Amino acid sequence: MTAVRDSIRANMDRPLTALYLLLLFAGWANIYSAAYNPDHPNLFDTAMEYGNQSVWIVVCLVLGAAVMMVHGDFIKNMAVPAYSVSLLLLALVPVLGKEVGGNTNWLQLGPVRIQPSEFAKFATALVLTRYLSGLQAFRGMRTRAIATAIILAPVGLILLGKDVGTALTFGAFILVLYREGLSGNILLLAIGVAILAVLSLILRESMFHIPFWGREVSGQYFLIGIITLTCLFAFWFISRFVLKGQRKRLYGFILFTLIGSAVFISAFDFVFENVLSERHRTRIGVTLGLVYDPQGLGYNAEQSKTAIGSGGLIGKGYLKGTFTKYKYVPEQQTDFIFCTVGEEWGFAGTTLVVLLFGALILRCIQIGERQRSRFTRIYAYCVASIFFLHLMINVGMAIGLAPVIGIPLPLFSYGGSSLVGFTLLLATLVRLDAERLSQLR
Amino acid sequence: MRFDDRRFVLMATVIAVCAVFIVRLFWLQVVDDRWKARAADISERKITVFPSRGLIYDRHGELLVANTPVYDIMVVPREVKEFDTLALAQLLGVTPKDVHDRLTKARAYSGYKPSEFEKQVTADQFAGISLHLHKYPGFYAQSRTLRTYPERIGAHMLGYLSEVSQRKVEQDPYYRAGDVIGVGGLEQYYEPALRGRRGVKYVVVDVHNNVQGKFMGGQYDTLGVEGKNLYTSIDARMQAYGERLMAHKKGSIVALDPRTGGILALVTSPSYDPELLVGRVRNHNYGVLQRDSLNPLFDRALQAQYPPGSIFKLVQALTALQEGVITPQTGFPCNKALVGCHNHPMATDVEHAIQYSCNPYFYQVFKREIEQNKDPDRFKDAVLGLNEWEGYVRSFGLGERPRVDLPAAKGGRVPNTAFYDKRYGKGGWAFSTIYSVSIGQGEVEVVPMQMANLAAIFANRGWYIDPHIVTAIGHPDSLTRWERHKTKVDDHWFDLIAEGMRRVTEEAGGTARAARIPGVTVCGKTGTAQNPHGKDHAVFVCFAPMENPRIAMAVYVENSGFGGTWAAPIASLLMEQYLTDTITRPDLEKRMLEADLIADEKNYKPFVSKRRKR
Ligand SMILES: [Zn+2]
């Protein structure tokens, strides 16, 4: 036991641990500032948010130390039970939980509220890792179906609680699947679809005059027309300049693109019009800059940008972020915590935080790539992907590059469940990585 | 592994996203100033601390001008919740359309910053409103002060407050659009002292518009300076009495303490209630006053220029005595061929000439002054004589704007060689052209203020202190300094004049016997200012008591003909009230108070206007 512990301490990845601790304490200091109340300056005053956060940070440190004690095999074996418990808890949320802000995503356990979805991320990562590491290769419909099912089961339950943001974060696992062999075309397809969706949204509000025809058509039909013309041109180009043997494959591709886009645009229009609620439509519209609504849904985004923008190059100084402190930014201790960074520490601070997160994610990938164990590698990608997606959406939302989707910034946002969830994710990676030299598999 | 290279795709993606974020952050935080401006606009407020305007007191500490609180109803559009437009409209006494329009205007200005919604609600009205205002989130009251006039007197000399003009804003960096500024009277003359200096505080407010603290520790704040009080020489009782006596008459009264130059009363009639030009009703009432055919906005005491009439004979006598062209014993026959006169015994000396106010006598006196035979050419001789004469007359404070502490005084006119040269051409005039000046008619003009000052000079036997209203600024002991002036006529000649003026009131045959006061020796002189448009204007100057005079006064009553009929009794009543604090002639008083000399004026309607609720 002593030997194991010594080897753990010796083999713990120091850069990753350091990055974790750095971000953890930066986040802590930030919560203190965001919720600072001169009447309750005590860091452990549980009447204040930072008091609670302090308690949770201690919990996290203890939990992290505990994870270091357990054996890697135990973690692997815990995957399925943890996943099952998570699903059970998620299933209980819509039944027992209370609605907060349009979402039902937490359970009251005695004095603490927990968000099972935050733990479900960790459990899903473990189970997915376990399943994928057991495969020879990520191939075949059955494999894909099982992997998809593992991911979609918690997503489905989370969507029952209307927590779209958290459900979206499970999309991070696509990156893991890609690393393990999912066709890149699927990712490209996804990106292509996203571009089409955005284009049709932008164009659907405007009418276009068609020359030589004397009629006006709405944007999405105009878009289909443009795509058709492009395809016809491509067809002509191929028939003239491409070798005969390759033509057939390219013709097929063009045909697929044409029919696919037309169907997608029409279907998307239908879904947008009939399935999405007004609220969601506006929210998407605001993000795309189609709807200007600074007092309504655009308010959050506008205030967030104002807070960050007002920080300037070096910020207003610690505890001096008046714009965030005087509640101009809604949810500024949770979803919009990045605003406090931006206002008090300026461009210097925000850049540092982005760079620290970037380094953390890249370090996770690096750790994954140095493993002999497939399990640890895949798991490392899960961790990296989850952090990446959170960073992308949360910071992107705060600076107006992504729609306002309420998900936390890892280790910064107020809330025990997410703090514990991200700590478990990282601690487990450190623990598994520390074993790499003693693992022969 | 076949897919090992994909790690680079993923790492590149992470790096790309971070790079995009950093570029975007650089844009937001360093390049684009819009967000800093927006944050400041939303969360920082400049609060102007207006000092309370100085008060104005009379010589006994009575308040002439005070401040009274009113309330502005403000609105912060972002805080406004759904509300009953009709109920709010009724509460504030406006139409529902007003409510809608004003809210739209406020929104257009700013969602976060307060706008004025309803201005100057009086304390009485506000008592009712304040009970219900909490039902309308986003609306709140802000108090400020308006002027109030406890005695309701002295409208012209006090002036009023008005919104500062665009021109003034451009000229004077102190003023911002919407500031108030003193217009006319003491409010204008002492504007910098009365207004003080406003302070500015920069504060940070939270999202609910509550002040949370000073901006940058208050380093940009400036301290305000309170407005200074004015302590005046005005006697509020005398001023009020004078205004009552002058009711329904056109004219003016200027009363001075000759020993100090302090103005005791400054009455212009017709006048108006100073409360009419306060607050929301000001613009309306000002229009009404402007259209009034009696022109109540005209400040007769300082601006009406009349020929001085017979009173000018006193100045002529003094000048001639000093020049040595006559002696106290010089007599002239009443030769009505030269200039008209009334029937009286011949004036055998100066004192009698004054007593009888003999026109041919002063014709001869002036002739001697102008034609001193210093030059054989009578035209050139007249120039020399008039130049000499002008120097004497100007030393009486005539022909120049009185240095009174009021903005609008006129200077009258003492015709000199330049004036006649312009009118008749050089060498185109001689004594025969200008002789009517000898009896105070013709080109010579004075304003009532100068007339009163003349009375003070007679009272002081040869000197005066510039007439003024304010004796102390800021503190009753901080005395203001006023210049003392000496006439070019030696003191001893004035005793003659005083004796002549005594005879005017005290002796049988005097023209102003109505001015006598039991127990007090009054010196006076009546005059008639010729009026080409109608009945002549009556004027009476006087001082009392004869020895150690404490009051000097000029009373003008327009279109009342002879000075002894109306002007002298009014002056007498005022002096009696001031000197003895009693009125021993109630019948006379009643007659003066009830006299209506303008009842037959065309277009005359009793003045009725909106009045501010108190
Ligand atoms: Zn005569």
In DSSP terms, B484 is beta-bridged to B465
Higher pLDDT: A425 or B215? It is: A425
Residues from chain B that touch A388, judged by Cβ atoms under 8 A, are: 13-14, 17
Q: What is the pLDDT of residues B66-90, one digit of tens each?
A: 998 888 898 988 888 888 889 999 9
Q: What is the pLDDT of residues B269-294, one digit of tens each?
A: 899 999 999 988 888 999 999 888 88
Encode burial over A388-426: b for 16+ CB neighbours within 10 A, e otherwise. bbbbbbbbbbbbbbebbbbbbbbbbbbbbbbbbbbbbbb
Q: For position A297, what pLDDT does the model report?
A: 59
Higher pLDDT: B482 or A382? It is: A382
Encode burial over B243-275: b for 16+ CB neighbours within 10 A, e otherwise. bebbbebbbbbbbbbbeebbbbbbbbbbbbbbb
Instruction: Return all residues near B217 (Cβ < 8 A) that are at least 6 apart.
Output: none
Instruction: Round to whole Å and give the CA distance between A193 and A267.
Output: 12
Q: Which of B7, B14, B78 sits opposite A358 (nearest CB)?
A: B14
Q: Indicate the pairing of strand B56-57 with strand B230-232.
A: parallel
Residues from chain A that touch B43, judged by Cβ atoms under 8 A, are: 322-323, 326, 328
> A323 CA to chain B: closest CA distance, Å?
7
Q: What is the pLDDT of residues B411-454, one digit of tens each?
A: 999 999 999 999 998 888 989 889 999 998 889 999 999 999 99
ipTM, 2 dp: 0.87
Does A266 reside within a domain?
yes
Neighbour tally for A116: CB within 10 Å: 28
Contact (Cβ atoms closer than 8 angstroms) between residue A402 and residue A389: no
Q: Using the mean position of ligand 1's atoms as its centre, give its distance from the Cα of residue B347 in Å.
A: 8
Q: Using the mean position of ligand 1's atoms as its centre, give its distance from the Cα of residue B446 in Å.
A: 24
Q: Which two tokens stand for residue B20?
A: 């995009």
Across B165-184, average pLDDT: 90
| Eight-class DSSP state of B524 | E
Contact (Cβ atoms closer than 8 angstroms) between residue B459 and residue B264: no
**Does the pLDDT of residue B605 top 70, yes or no?**
no
Do the two domains B45-232 and B236-554+565-603 of this chain adopt the same fold? Answer: no
Q: What is the CATH number of domain B236-554+565-603?
A: 3.40.710.10
Q: What is the pLDDT of residues B245-270, one digit of tens each?
A: 999 899 999 999 999 999 999 999 89
Among A residues 317-336, those touching chain B with beta carbons less than 8 Å apart:
322-323, 325-328
Contact (Cβ atoms closer than 8 angstroms) between residue A118 and residue A419: no
Nearest to B293 by CA among B10, B64, B604, B24: B604
Instruction: Round to whole Å and give the CA distance between A276 and A268.
Output: 10
Q: What is the end-to-end Cα distance of chain B in Å, rounded?
A: 94
**Does the pLDDT of residue B608 top 50, yes or no?**
no
Residues from chain B that touch A393, judged by Cβ atoms under 8 A, are: none
Rounded to whole angstroms, what are the CA distances from B169 to A285, B173, B178? Answer: 46, 7, 9
Query: What string of DSSP letters covers B25-89?
Result: HHIIIII-THHHHHHHHHHEEEEEEPPPPPPEE-TTS-EEEEEEEEEEEEE-GGGPPP--HHHHH
Q: For position B540, what pLDDT does the model report?
A: 94
Q: Cα–chain-centroid distance for residue A254? A: 33
- Rounded to 5°, the CA angle A407-A411-A413 comes to 45
Report CB contact under 8 Å: A309, B42.
Answer: no
Q: Does A295 touch chain B (CB under 8 A)?
A: yes
Residues, Cβ < 5 Å to ion ligand 1: B 334, 341, 358
Q: What is the pLDDT of residues B289-338, one digit of tens each?
A: 988 888 899 999 999 999 998 899 999 999 999 999 999 999 999 998 88
Report CB contact under 8 Å: B28, A384.
Answer: no
Nearest to B264 by CA among B577, B588, B603, B590: B577
Test the B interface: residue of A191, A303, A310 with most B CBs within 10 Å: A310
Report CB contact under 8 Å: B207, A327.
Answer: yes
Does A149 reside within a domain?
no
Contact (Cβ atoms closer than 8 angstroms) between residue B86 and residue B167: no
Q: Which helix (H) or strand (E) holds B213?
A: strand B211-214
Across B195-203, average pLDDT: 88
> B207 CA to chain A: closest CA distance, Å?
5
Q: Which two tokens stand for residue A216?
A: 């006006």
> Which amino acid type is present at position A386?
I
Q: For position B601, what pLDDT does the model report?
A: 67
- Counting as low any pLDDT under 50, the low residues of chain A are 1, 440-441
- Rounded to 5°, the CA angle B418-B423-B426 comes to 60
Q: For position A206, what pLDDT does the model report?
A: 67
Instruction: Round to whole Å and give the CA distance between A61 and A13.
Output: 16
Q: Strand B211-214's sheet: what is its strand order? A: B44-49, B199-205, B211-214
What topology does CATH give the domain B45-232?
A: Penicillin-binding protein 2a (Domain 2) (3.90.1310)
Contact (Cβ atoms closer than 8 angstroms) between residue A182 and residue A138: yes
Q: Which range is least confidently modeled, A272-276, B359-363, B406-410? A: A272-276
Q: Which range is least confidently modeled, A186-190, B174-178, B236-240, B519-523? A: A186-190
Q: For position B602, what pLDDT does the model report?
A: 47
What is the overall mean pLDDT for chain B? Answer: 89
Contact (Cβ atoms closer than 8 angstroms) between residue B488 and residue B395: yes
Contact (Cβ atoms closer than 8 angstroms) between residue B385 and residue B369: yes
- Scanning the structure block, which residue is given the tokens 């080897």? A7
Q: For position A295, what pLDDT does the model report?
A: 57
Q: For position A292, what pLDDT does the model report?
A: 58
Number of residues in chain A: 441
Rounded to whole angstroms, what are the CA distances from A77 to A4, A130, A131? Answer: 19, 9, 12
Q: Using the mean position of ligand 1's atoms as its centre, give its distance from the Cα of residue B317 in Å.
A: 15
pLDDT category at B56 given cuts 50, 70, 90 is very high
Q: Where are the domains of chain B?
A: 45-232, 236-554+565-603
Q: For position A6, what pLDDT does the model report?
A: 62
Q: For position A441, what pLDDT does the model report?
A: 42
The parent domain of residue A259 ranges over: 206-283
Contact (Cβ atoms closer than 8 angstroms) between residue B468 and residue B404: yes
Contact (Cβ atoms closer than 8 angstroms) between residue B237 and residue B577: yes
Q: For position B568, what pLDDT does the model report?
A: 93
Q: Using the mean position of ligand 1's atoms as its centre, give its distance from the Cα of residue B314 in Å.
A: 15
**Does the pLDDT of residue B550 top 90, yes or no?**
yes
Contact (Cβ atoms closer than 8 angstroms) between residue A125 and residue A429: no
Rounded to whole angstroms, what are the CA distances from B439 to B28, B312, B364, B508? Answer: 86, 6, 10, 23
- Scanning the structure block, which residue is given the tokens 């590698």? A377
Q: Which helix (H) or strand (E) holds A107?
A: strand A107-109
Backbone torsions φ then ψ of B392, nearest 5 degrees: -65, -50
Across B555-572, average pLDDT: 88
Instruction: Round to whole Å and give the CA distance between B313 and B511.
Output: 14
Instruction: Round to whole Å and give the CA distance between A76 and A126.
Output: 7
Q: Which helix (H) or strand (E) holds A303?
A: helix A298-309
Reduced to 3 states (helix: H, G, I; strand: E, B; else coil), residue B178 is coil
Q: How many domains does chain A have?
A: 1
Instruction: Round to whole Å and give the CA distance between B502 and A168.
Output: 109
E strand map for B287-435: none
Q: For position B607, what pLDDT does the model report?
A: 45
Reduced to 3 states (helix: H, G, I; strand: E, B; else coil), residue A327 is coil
pTM (2 d.p.) = 0.70
Contact (Cβ atoms closer than 8 angstroms) between residue A409 and residue A386: no
Residues from chain A that touch B18, judged by Cβ atoms under 8 A, are: 354-355, 357-358
Q: For position B614, what pLDDT does the model report?
A: 43
Number of residues in chain B: 614
Contact (Cβ atoms closer than 8 angstroms) between residue B429 and residue B382: yes
Backbone torsions φ then ψ of B597, nearest 5 degrees: -90, 0
Q: For position B606, what pLDDT does the model report?
A: 45
